[in-house]
Amino acid sequence: MVTTLYLIRHGATAGDDVKRYKGSIDVPLSQKGIQQISKSLNFIVEHVRKSALFKQQNYLIDIHGNTSNRDDGKMALKAVYCSPLSRAVSSAEIIASHFGLKPIEVPNLTERNFGEWEGMTYLEIKEKYPDEFNKWANNPLKYCPPKGESTIEVRDRVVTAIEKTIDNHRTIGENIAIVAHGGVNRIILCHLMGIPLENIFRIEQDHASINIIEFWERYPVVKLVNGIFY
């Protein structure tokens, strides 16, 4: 059975006109973010429908020689998981409500704690912590923000969460969604594609972007990265 994961970054947040390291700070989704997620939802709904029809038609032709049966249950998300930060919860609620679901909060999907850098702009960090910032930007695996989480620490909790979540749906072959953050999503994608964590910033994750991963038993196949539909 094939389990499909829609991995989504939350929409834009209040104050996004100035780029800051928000990390574990709880900031709300903005009106722009609501619109972004709503448009991403439209894509998910259509993609789930088309994928279900394609898989079902192939199965019916191969096994029964016809396509007369239809299982509408396969044309929906079965669960929506999210980080407990409000920008992710609000984004997840928009997606989940369409399918008659409530988001399931997973604490280990929270964005990285940026320590002393949280709430600061890039320029402020470069001015106050020039050496630390350059070291971290050049090797985010070896270095981390002062008093913040290391990439390894974030990876350990995030990978544990993603593996447990997928295992809950793997044998049934269901469609699920996870709404998290840019840093968290990059780590998940690196893990699934076998990319060294030093390269996490080579993967873009825009607001409300969608990544699609199919799990064939325990083998992940990444079908889409950073899809933007607004």
User: For the segment 94-106, what is each residue's pLDDT rounded down to a tens digit?
Assistant: 999 999 999 999 9
- Per domain, the residue ranges of the chain are 2-227
Rounded distance between C-alpha atoms, residue 111 and residue 22, angstroms: 9
Q: Which amino acid is at 87?
A: R
User: For the segment 28-63, what is each residue's pLDDT rounded down to a tens digit?
Assistant: 999 999 999 999 999 999 999 998 776 654 444 444
Given a cut of 70, whether residue 210 has pLDDT beyond it is yes
Rounded distance between C-alpha atoms, residue 180 and residue 202, angstroms: 18
Residues with Cβ within 8 Å of residue 168, at least 6 apart in sequence: 79
0.85 cut: is pTM over it? yes
Q: Which amino acid is at 86?
A: S
**Which CATH superfamily is 2-227 part of?**
Phosphoglycerate mutase-like (3.40.50.1240)
How does residue 72 score in pLDDT terms, banded at 50, 70 and 90?
low
